[in-house]
Amino acid sequence: MARQPVVAGRAEQLLGSSVIATAPVAGGDICTAVKLRLSNGRTAFLKTLTGAPEGFFAAEATGLRWLAEVEDGVATPEVLGVADDCLILAWIESGKTGADAAASFGRALARTHRSGAPSFGLDTEGFIGRLPLRNRPMDTWAEFYAERRIAPYLKVARDHGMVEAADAATIEQAVAKIGEIVPDEPPARLHGDLWNGNVLFTNDDRVVAIDPAAYGGHREVDLAMLALFGLPQLQHVMAAYDEEHPLADGWEDRLAIHQLFPLLVHACLFGGQYGARAARLAARYL
C-alpha cells in the first residue's frame, strides 16, 4: 500500500489518527473507495462521492447506527467518521460463503426486523443509490409503499423512457392492490437495500450488512430484495429467519410485489430491461 496524501490527510482530520498507507478499492457503482491503514493498528474503509448531495453520507451513517442499536441483530460496520464529502467505516475482511454463517444472518435479520420502528418511514430523508429516498411517514404500509417507494421512481422511469406506458399502468394496478395482497404487520426495522452486493460474508464466519437505506417498513421488503438477485446460501438464511420470526403464510408468493421497488430504482439508475421485468412481476397480481 502506498500513501495518497490528500486522501490520507482528509481521513486524519476526521479520525484523529495518522494514516500510514492507502489503497484504492474496486467494485463500487457510485462512490470511490479507499482502504486505509492507520497508525493505531486498525484498518478502515473510506468512501467519497464528488458532488455528493447534501446529507448523502450522513444518511448512511444514521442508518448504520440505527441498525446497530439492536442487540444480536444484523452486524454492520462501525462508523468511524462522517462528513459531507466522505464516510469512514471499520474495514470488513471478506471470506467464503457458508451455511452456518447464512443461518446466523437469517436469525440476526429476524431480530433486527422484530425490534421494530416507530412508523412506516423515518423522520429523516435518505438515499437509494444516488437517488433521493422519501421517508416521510404514512399511516399504513399500503399507502407508504405506493406513495414513497413506487410512485417517485415509476414517474422518473416513465418520463425518461425507461418504462413503457402500458408497463407503468400494469405496475400501478398491481400496487393499488397491495393492501389486499400483503398482510398487516407493525413496522419492522429495515436495512432497505439488502441485495446480495450489500451482504458480506466475512473471513471470521460472520455476515455483515453494508450500505443501508434504512427506514421502518414491511419486513418482507428486505426478504424480497435478498431473493431478487440471488444471495448465496439464501435457503439457509430464510429457514433460520422463519424459525426465529415466523412469516405469514404465502410470503414466497408475495416477494414479487415488493421487488417492484428495487427494479424501478434500477430502471432509473441503469435503464435496460428492469422496467419491463417489473411489469412482468406486477402482472402476477392482476
Please answer whether residues 187 and 217 qualify as being in contact, where contact means their C-beta atoms are separated by less than 8 angstroms: yes
Alpha helices in 124-273 (DSSP H): 141-144, 151-159, 165-175, 178-181, 220-228, 234-244, 251-270
pLDDT at position 4 is: 75
Q: What's the CATH number where 60 sits?
A: 3.30.200.20
Which band of pLDDT confidence, cut at 50, 70 and 90, is reported for residue 1? low
- Mark whether 231 and 103 lie in a shared domain: yes
Q: What average pLDDT does the structure give for the chain?
A: 95
Lowest pLDDT segment from 24-33, 130-139, 237-246: 24-33
Model confidence pLDDT, tens digit, residues 254-269: 999 999 999 999 999 9
Cα within 13 Å of Cα(18), Cβ side = 3
- Mark whether 37 and 150 lie in a shared domain: no
- Mark whether 231 and 199 lie in a shared domain: yes
The whole-number average pLDDT for the span 31-47 is 93
User: What percentage of the chain has pLDDT greater than the value 90?
Assistant: 87
pLDDT at position 112 is: 98
Q: How far apart are CA 260 and CA 281, in angstroms?
A: 7
Please answer whether residues 93 and 206 qualify as being in contact, where contact means their C-beta atoms are separated by less than 8 angstroms: no
Q: How many CB atoms lie within 10 A of CB 106?
A: 25
More confident residue, 247 or 26: 247
Lowest pLDDT segment from 22-31, 129-138, 208-217: 22-31
Q: What is the helix (H) or strand (E) element at residue 10, kind and residue range?
A: helix 5-15
pLDDT at position 55 is: 95
Model confidence pLDDT, tens digit, residues 70-83: 999 999 999 999 99
Residues in Cβ contact with 228 at an 8 Å cutoff, skipping those fewer than 6 apart? 195, 259, 262, 263
Residues in Cβ contact with 252 at an 8 Å cutoff, skipping those fewer than 6 apart? none
- Mark whether 114 and 50 lie in a shared domain: no
Of 40, 59, 90, the domain-final residue: 90
Q: Is 19 helix (H, G, I), strand (E, B) or coil?
A: strand
Q: How far apart are CA 22 and CA 32, in angstroms?
A: 13
Which band of pLDDT confidence, cut at 50, 70 and 90, is reported for residue 213? very high
Closest CA to 229 of 274, 268, 269: 274
Catalytic residue among 167, 193, 211, 222: 193
Q: How far apart are CA 178 and CA 190, in angstroms?
A: 19
Q: pTM to 2 decimals?
A: 0.95
Which band of pLDDT confidence, cut at 50, 70 and 90, is reported for residue 226? very high
Q: How far apart are CA 53 and CA 187, in angstroms?
A: 28
Which band of pLDDT confidence, cut at 50, 70 and 90, is reported for residue 28? low
Q: What is the helix (H) or strand (E) element at residue 274, kind and residue range?
A: helix 274-282
Of 90, 122, 147, the domain-final residue: 90
Q: How far apart are CA 238 and CA 40, in angstroms?
A: 39
pLDDT at position 60 is: 97
Judge whether residue 27 has pLDDT over 70.
no
Taking the chain, what is the end-to-end CA distance rounded to the nearest angstrom? 56
pLDDT at position 30 is: 81
C-alpha cell at 74: 444484523
Domain, as residue range, for 61: 5-90
Model confidence pLDDT, tens digit, residues 189-208: 999 999 999 999 999 999 99
Q: What's the CATH number where 238 sits?
A: 3.90.1200.10
Q: How many CB atoms lie within 10 A of CB 196?
A: 16
Of 57, 90, 123, the domain-final residue: 90
pLDDT at position 3 is: 72
- Mark whether 149 and 232 lie in a shared domain: yes
The whole-number average pLDDT for the span 29-40 is 89
pLDDT at position 236 is: 97
C-alpha cell at 12: 486524519
Q: Is 193 a catalytic residue?
A: yes
pLDDT at position 121 is: 98
User: What percentage of the chain has pLDDT greater than the value 70?
Assistant: 99
- Mark whether 72 and 103 lie in a shared domain: no
Closest CA to 146 of 34, 260, 63: 260
Single-letter amino acid code for the residue at 244: E
Judge whether residue 131 has pLDDT over 70.
yes
Full DSSP string of 62-130: HHHHHHHTSTTS-B-PPEEEEETTEEEEE---B----HHHHHHHHHHHHHHHHH--SSBB-SS-EEETT
